[in-house]
Every structure is written in structure tokens, then in C-alpha cells.
């Protein structure tokens, strides 16, 4: 069983953000340092404490190898699907503890089913976000780093319902959710020697969109990310991040659609390798655990993400 196409892009976007959050766990130290720690959340490319600006390019590829049904059963895929995404992103420090970031994704999808294959894509949903750090990880022995996150995702990508059905029978040209999304979050992080531990909570609310005359609103989504990272003396780092998103039922003309809620689990093993002070490579492997009851109404994927970042201090 395949997941509904109408939710596929949204799932991919969430996965993309979470995967980048994982590779953005960038503790960059071996001790009591607040530098570079924690989740970039909402938008990739979080600035480390010493950085004033950065730009980056990220490439991501994922194989959709299965899905979770509405009853949370794990179902191996009966058709092929590959998702690709390239992101340009940048971040700018606007105050000593405040930063803003912009992410511009370009999405491509390859689908094959029932003897039909389809490849398409385009500009995805732009994301603008901000972060304010009230305290920094490592500043205090007791109080963790506390950051407030806010973000807006703009519906700049073509949603599934606007797909060019004549040329893209499997809607592979869809690249967006078709709705604005407001993200709010809180990030906690602390360093213990060379280890960094972080927990981030995100709340996302989407605006309604009209599909075939029906006003459809995706349910509010709660996401928790928990991660641990180890930094080596050469500034390289490894991180393991687990995330879990829970989304409420979709509403159609104000009426809840039963069994349309979603649960999205994801595990990411990420790494960071500094080429020098301004340049770093970040990458990771992410996967949906293939366990029934963990997910619901969502694809299960396995993929790679690689990013090159240039920063200025």
C-alpha cells in the first residue's frame, strides 16, 4: 500500500528538515563549550556561536521503501519511489543571540507504479526562520542552553492537487504542501565534556488550502527531536538523532477526516567534518524504523544527505 500522494510532499519536507536538523548538530568542541551545539530546527544552517553568517548547499536522496498504513501497519512498497532534494540555505546573525535563516529547496521525485514511471519537480516550499538563544549550552553548569524557534514555510512549491496530470500521471512534479506553515519551537541543549545532548520540540500549524472545491487543512503537528553528539579534537563530530512527529487528523470543510492522522518516526546518524575554519562538510544517513505501530499514514524512507557549508565569523 502506498501513502496518499496528497501527503507525500509534506512528509518529504518534514523528513528533510529533520534530516538537516540532525546534520546541523554541530557541537564542534571537546568540553564545556556552547559552540555550535544543538538542533538547527525548523530551518537548516544554524549559526554557531562564533559565526555571523553562513551559506550552504545540501543534497538529499531517499528511497521510499515502505509505508505505514492508517492502522499503523508497516507495509513494504509495491512500487518504486525516489525523492531528491537540493537546498540552498543561508543564515545571518541579526543580534548577539538572534539569527535568521532562509532555506530554498529544489525537489525532484521519481515514481514508478503500474508500469508507469514519472519524474518531475521544481522549487519547493521556501522556509524562513529565526532563533533566539536565551542561554547557551555550556554557559552554566546547571541551566541548559535554551533557544526559541520560529519559522514560516511559504507555499512556493507546486502542491499535488496542482500537478500537471497529463504529463505527470504520478504527480512527480509536486514539490510543495500548498499551504503556509507556522513553526514554533523550543530547544534545550547542554554539553558534558565532548558530548552534546539536545531536545527540541516543534509545533507546526498549516493554513487551509482548497482542493477540488473542498477546504482542506492538515492537522497540527508536534515534533520532538532528541539527539546526542560527540565532538572529536579535530572539530569533527558524530551525532545520533531520533525524531517523532505526530500530526492530527486532516479537516475537510471543517470536518475531521477519521484515521487521517499521521505519525512520522525517523532516525539519523549524522557527521560533520571541518575542512578548515570557514568550510565544513555535513552529512548523514537517515531511516524510518521498519516497525509496525511506529508510523501511520506516512512513507518509510532510507536516504543520504550531504551538505557543504561556508561560514563567516
Q: How far is the CB of 196 from other proteins (least distance, A)?
A: 12
Among 139, 161, 251, 256, binds other proteins (CB under 8 A): 139
Residues in the chain: 313
- How far apart CA 286 and CA 265 sit, in angstroms, is 11
Name the one range near other proteins by CB under 8 A: 77-85, 147-155, 226-234, 292-300: 226-234
Nearer to other proteins, 193 or 289 (CB): 193
32 binds other proteins (CB under 8 A): yes
List the one residue out of 309, 194, 266, 288 whose CA is nearest residue 22: 266
- How far apart CA 44 and CA 280 sit, in angstroms, is 14
85 binds other proteins (CB under 8 A): no
List the one residue out of 189, 161, 192 whose CA is nearest residue 176: 161
C-alpha cell at 91: 543564515
268 binds other proteins (CB under 8 A): no
54 binds other proteins (CB under 8 A): no
Among 5, 30, 126, 128, binds other proteins (CB under 8 A): 30
Nearer to other proteins, 139 or 256 (CB): 139
Name the one range near other proteins by CB under 8 A: 8-16, 74-82, 140-148, 166-174: 140-148
193 binds other proteins (CB under 8 A): yes
**Contact predicate 186/147, CB 8 Å:** yes
List the one residue out of 221, 132, 131 whose CA is nearest residue 182: 221
141 binds other proteins (CB under 8 A): yes
158 DSSP assignment:
P
Name the one range near other proteins by CB under 8 A: 4-12, 30-38, 168-176, 252-260: 30-38
3-state class of 88 per DSSP? Answer: strand
Beta-carbon neighbour count of residue 222 at 10 Å?
Answer: 14
Q: How far is the CB of 234 from other proteins (least distance, A)?
A: 8
233 binds other proteins (CB under 8 A): yes
3-state class of 163 per DSSP? Answer: coil
Among 15, 44, 56, 138, binds other proteins (CB under 8 A): 138
Nearer to other proteins, 138 or 284 (CB): 138
293 binds other proteins (CB under 8 A): no
26 binds other proteins (CB under 8 A): no
- How far apart CA 187 and CA 195 sit, in angstroms, is 16
- How far apart CA 293 and CA 111 sit, in angstroms, is 26
136 binds other proteins (CB under 8 A): yes
CA-angle at 24, arms to 19 and 26, nearest 5°: 140
* Chain positions contacting other proteins, by CB under 8 A: 28-35, 49-50, 136-141, 143, 193, 231, 233-235, 274, 276-277, 313
Amino acid at each position: 500500500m502506498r501513502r496518499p500522494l496528497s501527503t507525500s510532499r509534506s512528509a518529504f519536507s518534514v523528513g528533510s528538515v529533520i534530516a538537516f536538523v540532525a546534520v546541523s548538530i554541530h557541537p564542534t568542541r571537546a568540553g564545556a563549550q556552547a559552540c555550535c551545539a544543538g538542533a538547527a530546527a525548523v530551518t537548516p544552517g544554524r549559526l554557531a556561536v562564533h559565526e555571523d553568517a553562513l551559506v550552504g548547499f545540501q543534497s538529499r536522496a531517499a528511497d521510499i521503501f515502505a509505508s505505514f498504513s492508517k492502522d499503523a501497519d508497516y507495509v513494504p512498497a509495491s512500487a518504486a519511489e525516489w525523492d531528491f532534494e537540493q537546498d540552498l540555505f543561508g543564515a545571518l546573525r541579526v543580534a548577539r543571540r538572534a539569527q535568521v535563516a532562509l532555506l530554498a529547496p529544489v525537489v525532484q521525485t521519481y515514481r514508478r507504479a503500474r508500469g508507469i514511471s514519472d519524474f518531475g519537480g521544481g522549487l519547493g516550499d521556501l522556509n524562513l526562520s529565526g532563533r533566539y538563544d536565551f542561554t547557551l549550552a555550556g554557559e552554566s553548569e546547571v541551566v541548559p542552553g535554551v533557544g526559541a524557534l520560529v519559522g514560516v514555510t511559504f507555499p512556493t512549491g507546486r502542491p499535488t492537487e496542482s500537478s500537471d496530470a497529463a504529463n505527470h500521471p504520478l504527480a512527480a512534479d509536486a514539490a510543495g504542501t500548498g499551504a503556509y506553515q507556522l513553526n514554533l519551537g523550543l530547544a534545550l541543549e547542554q554539553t558534558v565534556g565532548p558530548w552534546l545532548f539536545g531536545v527540541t520540540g516543534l509545533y507546526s500549524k498549516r493554513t487551509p488550502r482548497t482542493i477540488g472545491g473542498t477546504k482542506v487543512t492538515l492537522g497540527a503537528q508536534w515534533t520532538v527531536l532528541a539527539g546526542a553528539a560527540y565532538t572529536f579534537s579535530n572539530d569533527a563530530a558524530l551525532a545520533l538523532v531520533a525524531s517523532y512527529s505526530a500530526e492530527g487528523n486532516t479537516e475537510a470543510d471543517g470536518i475531521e477526516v477519521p484515521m487521517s492522522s499521521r505519525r512520522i518516526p525517523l532516525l539519523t546518524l549524522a557527521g560533520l567534518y571541518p575542512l578548515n575554519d570557514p568550510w565544513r562538510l555535513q552529512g548523514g544517513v537517515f531511516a524510518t524504523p521498519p516497525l509496525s505501530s511506529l508510523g501511520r499514514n506516512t512513507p518509510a524512507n532510507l536516504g543520504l544527505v550531504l551538505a557543504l557549508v561556508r561560514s563567516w565569523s
